[in-house]
Structure 1
Amino acid sequence: MALKIKRIAIDTHPENTAFLLRRRNGYSPEQFVALRKIEITGGDASILATLALIDDESLLEPHMIGLGEQAFRRLGLPEGAEVTFRQAPVPHSLEHVRRKIDGDELEETEIAEIIRDIAGYRYSPMEIGAFLVACAGFMSTHETLALTRAMAGVGRQMHWPSEIVVDKHCIGGIPGNRTSMIIVPIIAAHGLTMPKTSSRAITSPSGTADTMEVLASVDLPEDRLVSIVAKEHAVLAWGGRVNLSPADDVLITVERPLRIDTFDQMVASILSKKLAAGSTHLLIDIPVGPTAKVRTTREAIRLRKLFEYVGHRLGLVLDIVVTDGSQPVGRGVGPVLEARDVMAVLRNEDDAPRDLRERAVMLAGRVLEFDPALAGGKGYARAMELLGSGAALAAMERLIDAQGRCREVILPGSHVHDICAPAGGTVMSIDCHLIARIARLAGAPMDKGAGIDLLHKVGDRVRADEVLYRIHAHSPTGLEYARELAVASSGYVVG
């Protein structure tokens, strides 16, 4: 039976969702139980979608099938186009998942089949969760390599005319560590190609894309992204628009609620994205600290070796650096406050956060060492030269204009609350995880002006009742949520 498409303005990211009236469609309600997952076809276009039933006929007519925003965009047909649907077949690759649950090691072809079906939205969240938990229980290095290769092979793969295409990735877990937005303009000013595609924040107060969006558009179609890189040598864009390693985006939506973040899945996620983005040379930053994602040097070494094993077999040139992850970097935590710090560093302002500046220049120097035309060991000096001369700032301004300068001036949230030192002494430690949670409760990153302004760092002397940090929010509710957690546990130890 043919039905006409109606676009339903409901965001069901990342899943495809279709909507049908419960009655008057030629099916009984009992039959819809079997049709929970359906295949929708129109001409050469086809997608799989989860079915939701509607009882209100003002939303949908009997001869129509509604498609949520994701499903409508992925099917690619106009409203009113006729489609047919049928019950989606059970993916054959689920047999491989069952074997993995039993503890078997899977072949590369079996993992590739699983990833193709996940990227095609043929798995339910429960089935994806079963696969992830099975992999978290045991995964060989061969399986990690196969998973990375399979994830990179599904979706868009970008290619660049430059022989050397550099990139940088931080493992994360450190609030305010927005070094990429300083590194990219330094590298662009030098002339290396660095098409930096970044994710939005999932569990952190801000991702690179969230912070850059304060300054410029990051939702760039592929043709525009390519033209910017051709002209400016670089870009700072959201990677979700160009469909790089789409299976990773689907897996992440299930990993995060389950708090599954194994090294194997981390390596596959990062390297598949970089491989699909066309990178040839990659710097990996692994911050180590008591409240970071990687807690010990021993863990960092194990993670480094796994990156090297997989990366080298995929043809990537890797440089892996272990950095201090014991406290937040810079002063701002949250999009607006982090963007303020980044631009202060690029403008060489006297009060720019020194730790953010030094960290970014050090990492930029490591990336510049990939350039065979630069004498060995000169990367750091070259990075300092490009930053100090204003060349990096000029490159950043060109990138902002090319991507589309943000017309709205976004300010830090006007609702504020100060967290003060309970007694005089020295700041002994700062809990990165707790600071990130407080900033998110304040509204970051969705509310770009929300976050935390850190007024003191580890080693600073403070007086009793002196302000340690200031919480910003745009709503009283967000401020109250953040304040309650900060009052209960500030994240600072003063001794």
Structure 2
Amino acid sequence: MLTLKRIAIDTHRESIAYLSRDCPLYRAEEFLALAKVEVTAREDRGSGPGNGPGSGLRLPAVLNIVDDPHLLGANELGLSEEAFRLFGQPEGMPVWIDHPKPVESLDCVRAKIQGRVLSQAEYNAVIRDVAARRYSKMEIAAFLVGCASFMTAAEVLSLTRAMANVGHKLDWDHRPVVDKHCIGGIPGNRTSMIVVPIVIAHGLTIPKTSSRAITSPAGTADTMEVLARVDIGTDEMRAIVEKTGGCLIWGGRVNLSPADDVLITVERPLGIDTREQMVASILSKKVTAGARHLVLDIPVGPTAKVRSRADAVRLRKLFEYVAGELGLPIEIVITEGLEPIGRGIGPILEARDVLAVLRNEPGAPADLRERALLLAGQLIEADPAVRGGQGMRRARELLQSGAALRAMERLIEAQGPSSLALVPGPLGYDVPAPQDGVVQSIDCLRMARIARLAGAPAFKGAGLDLFRKTGETVRKGEPLYRIHAGLQSDLGFAADLAGRDNGYVIAAT
């Protein structure tokens, strides 16, 4: 047997095991680097069915061979931070490694690559193995590419069902339970943090789970974390919802559609974001979260995820078909995605905008406020007691009266207030306008990339503060936006990218 050791390396949702080349129990030649192994915490590991990751008994992992005795002893087995968390056993625990059983569902992946339509049973098999971490990133990439090449609407439904059937499912006694989602791609679009307290103030239940950023400057969970704790498990989530009527938490802890979390780690870096995979990802999580009515925001713009209204309509129809088959009432709102929403891009700057709207401050960004009211109004109309067409009016009343702000304050208190100061990064650089004129357009993708280089979302105070929006005039040399950063190197990277293309198109007057 080997002794378990925690290796403080962040492998970002990939389970890595480390074995010394000098190990006297297992030959490194037999367990090659980058091969898959199965780590077990019991000697009779060969008997009985596997228990999957997180069971504390078995864990599929990718093996790395270590030559440095200072990092890993000859009789130790190391696990990366992600693998150690999933394995759930303490350091010093006796462990063994074994060759994993063949992953039979890979035959389905090969069939999909060859263009075959897969059945519900085949998607079930693939997703079970993905969720159990039996696939390497290479194999996940093969599955994603195969699906991106061709999927029928029926296959999208099968994939969604398979993803929804793995992991936890939440069920709420409250009726109606509503939810809201945006497909993303627009920096600063933190409407959820305004919609949720408005809906809570009205009296509907909205258990909102959100993601962290992968390629964007901030996800809703990153921004909410500036105000309150979001790393919350299922039992505590239930208690918070019972107390306040809703929540705004990170979805990673409540294990809703865990296969989707695994797929996303490969999907996003490869830039694979097909409408079929988007539909399966979003709806599987909404179904497992116990939603009974969903409002979905699809922003459309030249640098948004969806570039044309025709594409938005096709996406809307696919969402409606799959949601309808799953028994989830859905209302889809197609909105403009021509530029970033609000003035801030990055967790602290976006939280500042959200609070400005909730506090009814005179300078609060109107575009963020009006979009949030539109979506909140659609959700409020799920209440049978509200007349059709009156939802947005009710949402505006709740915002203007301060009821929404009070609901957010109760939510923050229940989740646990953050001690983080709402102060942007200490280093700043103003990006100047190259000429006089009127701002014609702002590139959402460019703005997101500059904010990421500045350090967002890892450093909460990093990001962009926009001084000019579309339609506003500017004179040559005046700042278009300010880059905030915490490190001089990050500021330099972001300023250099902005210097090559600041993301603004200015029409001469």
Matches within 5 A, 1:133-282: 133-282=145-294
In the other structure, the counterpart of 2:418 is: 406
Shift in CA distance, 26/330, structure 1 to aligned 2, threshold 3 Å: same
Q: How does 1:410-421 map to 2 (within 5 A)?
A: 410-421=422-433
**1:91 Cα deviation (Å)?**
0.3
Distance in structure 2 (CA, Å) of the matches to 1:422 and 1:110: 56
Deviation, 1:378, is: 1.1
Could you tell me the TM-score, scaled by structure 1's length? 0.97
Q: Distance in 2 between matches of 1:318 and 1:324?
A: 19
Show the counterpart of 1:40. Answer: 39
* 1:190-220: CA deviation from partner (whole Å, max 9, x where unpaired): 1111111100011111110010111111111
Secondary structure at the aligned position of 2:368 is classed as helix
Cross-structure match for 1:100: 112
Structure 1 range deviating more: 431-440 or 297-306: 431-440
Q: Give, in whole Å, the separation in 1 of the partners of 2:401 and 2:175.
A: 28
1:35, CA displacement in angstroms? 8.4
Separation in 2, partners of 1:325, 1:459:
15
- Encode CA deviations 1:198-249: one digit per residue, 9 max, x unaligned: 0001111111001011111111122111100000001010001111111111
Q: Deviations over 1:338-383 (max 9, x none)?
A: 0000000000001101111111111100111111121221101110
- Give the % identical residues: 60
Select which of 425, 428, 441 maps to 1:429. 441
Any residues of structure 2 matched to 1:61-100 within 5 Å, and which? Answer: 61-100=73-112
In structure 2, C-alpha distance between the alignment counterparts of 1:83 and 1:281, rounded to whole Å: 46
Tell me the residue number matched to 2:6.
7
Report the equivalent of 1:396: 408
Cα distance, 1:408 vs. partner?
A: 2.5
Q: Residue 31 of structure 2: SS of its match in structure 1? A: helix
Structure 2 Cα separation of the partners of residues 46 and 349 of structure 1: 54
8 A Cα contact 2:433 2:478, kept in partner? yes
Partner of 1:118 in structure 2? 130
Aligned length: 494
The CA distance in 2 between the partners of 1:429 and 1:61, in whole Å, is 58
Indicate conservation of the 8 Å contact 1:34/1:87, yes or no: no
Counterparts of 2:473 and 2:27, CA distance in 1: 72
Q: Is the 8 A contact 1:35 1:86 kept in 2?
A: no
Consecutive unaligned residues of structure 2, counting only runs of 5 or more, are 43-50, 52-56
- Whether the 8 Å CA contact 1:245–1:276 is kept in 2: the answer is yes
The one-letter amino acid paired with 1:3 is L
Equivalent positions of 1:321-340 (< 5 A) are 321-340=333-352
Alpha-carbon separation, structure 1, partners of 2:487 and 2:238: 39
Moved more, 361-370 or 466-475: 466-475
- After superposition, give the CA deviation of every residue in 1:124-175 in whole Å (9 maximum; x if it has no partner): 1111111111111100111100101111111111111113211111011111
1:49 aligns with 2:61: yes
Mapped contact 2:229–2:417 kept (Cα < 8 A)? yes
Q: Residue deviations 1:414-442, cap 9 Å, x none?
A: 21111122222211111111111111111
- Which of 442, 447, 464 is the equivalent residue of 2:459? 447
Secondary structure at the counterpart of residue 154 of structure 2 = helix
Give 1:430's aligned amino acid.
Answer: I
**Structure 1 residue 34 displacement after superposition:** 8.4
In the alignment, which residue of structure 1 is the partner of 2:28? 29
3-state secondary structure, aligned to 2:451: helix
CA displacement, residues 82-131 of structure 1 (integer Å, 9 cap, x when unaligned): 23221012200011111111110001100110011111111111111111
Instruction: Indicate the residue corresponding to 2:500 in structure 1.
Output: 488
Q: In structure 1, the residue corresponding to 2:248 is in which secondary structure?
A: strand
Q: Which runs of 5+ in 1 are unaligned?
A: none
Partner SS for 1:33? coil
CA distance, structure 2, for counterparts of residue 188 and residue 204 of structure 1 = 28
CA distance in 1, matches of 2:196, 2:73: 51
d(CA) in 2 for partners of 1:29, 1:80? 22
Contact 2:198–2:376 at 8 Å: present in 1 too? Answer: yes
Paired with 2:161 and 2:371, the residues of 1 have a C-alpha distance of 31
Q: Distance in 1 between matches of 2:26 and 2:237?
A: 46
Q: Secondary structure at the match of 1:205?
A: coil
Q: Within 1, Cα distance between the matches of 2:226 and 2:506?
A: 33
Are 2:468 and 1:469 equivalent residues in the alignment?
A: no
Task: Answer yes or no: is the 8 Å Cα contact 2:33–2:65 preserved in 1.
Answer: no
In the alignment, the residues of structure 2 paired with residue 468 and residue 139 of structure 1 have an alpha-carbon distance, to the nearest angstrom, of: 43
Q: Assess if the C-alpha contact under 8 Å between 1:218 and 1:236 holds in 2.
A: yes
Post-superposition shift, 1:36? 1.8
Moved more, 161-170 or 341-350: 161-170
Cα separation, 2, equivalents of 1:258 and 1:67: 26
Deviation per residue, 1:57-101 (Å, 9 max, x gap): 233333332222222222222222223221012200011111111
Normalising by structure 2, what TM-score? Answer: 0.95
Q: Cα RMSD between the aligned structures? A: 1.3
Q: Structure 2 CA distance, aligned partners of 1:418 and 1:9?
A: 38
**Is it true that 1:479 corresponds to 2:478 in the alignment?**
no
Residue pairs, 1:343-358, within 5 angstroms: 343-358=355-370
Q: Secondary structure at the match of 1:31?
A: coil
Give the AA of the match of 1:32. F
Question: Which aligned runs of 4 or more in structure 1 are off by greater than 6 angstroms?
Answer: none
Equivalent residue letter for 2:445: H
